[in-house]
Chain A
Amino acid sequence: MSMLADAFTLVAVLAGIGFFAAGTAGLLRFPDTASRLHALTKADHLGLGLVVLGLLPQAGSLADSLRLLAIWALVLFAGAAAGPMLATLTRRTGPEA
């Protein structure tokens, strides 16, 4: 059972790192601010979610697991609110600022 949990953790964390890398690749390659914003908010937060999913079997107690999920929910919420704000800022100030 523990081997299964460890394997699940490794797979999920690796997938999470993959999405973080994809987000960075998007940041490095996308041509303008708005598409870079997409890469940042979507890929990075999904990567964080996969990492949290992978860490759930390793957490010591129920309280720790709930805390992990709460942190992810908070980051997701803040990112979801920051995205439109940054997009409006880009539109207001223009790409050259």
Chain B
Amino acid sequence: MTVWLALDLLLAAGSLALAFGVVRARRVFTAIALFIAHGLLLTLAWVRLDAVDVALTEGAIGAGLSGVLLLAARHRLARVGAGRVAEAPGRAVTIAIGLGCAAVTAALGYAVLALPDPAPSLAAEVAASLAATELGNPVTGVLMVFRGLDTLLEAAVLVLAVIGVWSLAPDRAWRGAPGAPWTVVEDGPLALLARLLPPVGIVVAVHILWVGADAPGGKFQAGAILAAMGLLAWLAGLARVPPTASRPMRATVAAGPALFIAVGLAGLMFQGAFLAYPEGLVKPVILLVEFVLTASVAAALALLVLGPPSADARP
């Protein structure tokens, strides 16, 4: 048994055990804590699959931000008194759910094992055309150049998601601040973390954004780190979220996709194809779009975690 196999077996066993723990947990909070641990192991699994870009995103969004979103939602429901589940699903429904999940797993396993060897992929074409994009990271090349339309649509979907989450608020809370404010923590370990970690996080985020052109990284991961740092300051009560009516905040969320669309239209006007970058200016344009998109993604992700504006202002 090689060491690689041992590592893979450990990751698989650990992920399965944690997933089992999530399903069997008796309290919602326990399930969420195990869900976060499970996300961390999934991150390692992606690294083993040679997809470090995906691993960065999984770690930042899957383990970090999703976990905190669930925690905030649980906390909010418990505060309102709606945290109790009315009744558990009956035995027949539970068995049906289990069979359904098992069937999906079997189908996925069969699909993966039945792939032709070598699996069909466009990696060779991407590698051949990568030089024209002036980028070193093929993933960024695919995301921003070859399939730039997909990235634009994803960025636009984030804006729509924020609007969708906000629309869950009751009418009287519409223009309020999302997420109930926390009591301010003046000193202690929490305040120390909330004051010292965000500057470090900003530096790391800028590094990940910059290095994404030639190595795993990019705007999505950088935006997720920025959102996490902002939420950290919010959790300690050291930062107040602007109300949903605030125009600068709305502008920040919309700026990234708007700029991306503008670049696309400019490409249509001057190069004859939507999202065609001007010759010789490919990398600067991509970097500019990525920079603005990072801010938009960070704002959108933070707002998604914060949730709809709440009627009550008490923590």
Contacts and interface: CB of A to CB of B under 8 A. Distances in A.
B196 A84 contact: no
A78 B200 contact: no
Interface in A52-97: 74, 77-78, 80-85
Contacts of A77: 193, 196
Interface string B191-203: 0110011001000
Contacts of B192: 81
Contacts of A82: 189
Contact count band on B: under 10
A96 to B, nearest CB: 13
A81 B188 CA distance: 8
B157 interface: no
Contact count band on A: under 10
Contacts of A81: 189-190, 192-193
Contacts of A85: 188-190
Nearest to B27: A97
B58 to A, nearest CB: 19
Dominant SS among interface residues on chain B: helix
Interface in B172-225: 188-190, 192-193, 196-197, 200
Contacts of B189: 80-85
Query: Which of A78, A80, A81 has the most B CB atoms < 10 Å from its CB?
Result: A81
A74 B193 contact: no
Nearest to B200: A74
Interface string B84-104: 000000000000000000000
Which 5 residue pairs across A and B have the least CB separation, nearest first?
Answer: A81-B189, A81-B193, A84-B189, A85-B189, A81-B192
Given A80-B189, A81-B189, A85-B190, 10 more contacts: A74-B200, A77-B193, A77-B196, A78-B193, A78-B197, A81-B190, A81-B193, A82-B189, A84-B189, A85-B189
Interface of A: 74, 77-78, 80-85
17 contacts: A74-B200, A77-B193, A77-B196, A78-B193, A78-B197, A80-B189, A81-B189, A81-B190, A81-B192, A81-B193, A82-B189, A83-B189, A84-B188, A84-B189, A85-B188, A85-B189, A85-B190
